Amino acid sequence: MPFYASFVQDRAARAALCGWSVRASTCRGRVALKSIIRTLFLATALCATPAMAHFQTLYTPDLTPDAPADIRVKAIFWHPFIGGPNVDMPFPLEAYAINRGERIDLMPSLSQVTFAGPDNQALAFDLTVPVRRAGDYVTVLVGEAYFDEAAQLLIQPYVKMILNAGGLPSDWDVPVGLPAEIVPMTKPYNVMSGSTFSARVLRDGEPLPGHQVEIVYLNAVPDMEANRSVSNGVVPPDGGVLVATTDDNGVFTVGLPRAGYWGFGALAAGPAFVNEDHVHISQDAILWVEVVPF
């Protein structure tokens, strides 16, 4: 397969455009000339783009527990808007939560499960967040880079989901320090349906302007006990994946019309574009929020 042909896949194509945007390169002077040439080379390969892409998910039914508890969270690599196909998830590199500035190691709680979508089943993980006191629990999963055979592209997710106990905000708007990160500017666990949500995309702690952010609705809700998905019956909109673009300060704002879980993915937001073996890599910043009925 020619080199360019490997980038016709949806995920690789959008990651390439997000990571090496010609507009961002020429207008903002932030990317070297070789990156511009690489962008043009990759862009010529774009032949087709399916509506929804693989998206690393962290999910628990309730982001606002009202009492101390061990909160079980599912980590699934799949298409959350349509429930599949699922992809075998490598063992995570890191899993932790931050509560009032203190880091809680979640790696010992990881357990592998087989999760079934409508099309197939694949390896996923359960983890447990020990909620013992009031405040936010910024739950972070750093995934091992997954190699997409079809696209010849490594995908490494940096995923956040924020729990809150007792209604006391503490850490939700504080950057964790990930290479690729989405930091909420709207409290992320009780966004009202029909309102707007804002966040900032960071690359190595610095705002990332002119970058595309994918938006997905968790239509295929995970059944925590049965390890399978249950559809909400929502049909993905025509026109492909929903996208917003960050402004000069790395900020995006979107309207969220429906209650449930929404995910935001800034593909190729991280500083690395190739690994030591010269394989292209997409370091993706992902954030999940809960929209509540109003």
- Residue 164 backbone dihedrals phi, psi, to 5 degrees: -140, 135
Helix (H) or strand (E) holding 159: strand 153-165
pLDDT at 78: 86
| Mean per-residue pLDDT pooled into runs of 10, the chain (294 residues) | 35 49 36 38 34 78 95 92 82 98 98 90 96 98 88 91 97 98 97 97 98 93 90 78 96 96 96 87 96 91
CATH topology of domain 55-292: Immunoglobulin-like (2.60.40)
Instruction: Locate all alpha helices (DSSP H) within the chain, ordered by sequence.
Output: 10-19, 22-28, 33-43
The whole-angstrom separation of Cα 96 and Cα 261 is 21
Say if residues 46 and 13 touch (Cβ distance below 8 Å).
yes
pLDDT at 83: 67
Q: Which residues contact 264 (CB under 8 A, 6 or more apart)?
A: 182, 199, 213, 214, 215, 252, 254, 286, 287, 288, 289
Other C-beta atoms closer than 10 Å to the C-beta of 195 total: 13
pLDDT at 107: 98
* Domain boundaries of the chain, sorted by first residue: 55-292
Helix, strand or coil, per DSSP, at residue 156? strand
**Running DSSP on this structure, what letter comes out for residue 109?**
G
Helices 10-19 and 33-43 pack at an angle, to 10 degrees, of 150
pLDDT at 22: 32
pLDDT at 118: 79
Kindly report, residue by residue over 167-189, the tens digit of the pLDDT: 999 999 999 999 999 999 999 99
Q: Which residues contact 280 (CB under 8 A, 6 or more apart)?
A: 12, 16, 152, 153, 154, 273, 274
Q: Which residues contact 191 (CB under 8 A, 6 or more apart)?
A: 197, 256, 289, 290, 291, 292
Q: Can you spell out the DSSP letters for 201-232? A: EEETTEE-TT-EEEEEE--EEEETTTTEEEE-
pTM of the model: 0.84
The whole-angstrom separation of Cα 273 and Cα 178 is 16
- Token readout for 23 is 């507009």
pLDDT at 30: 39
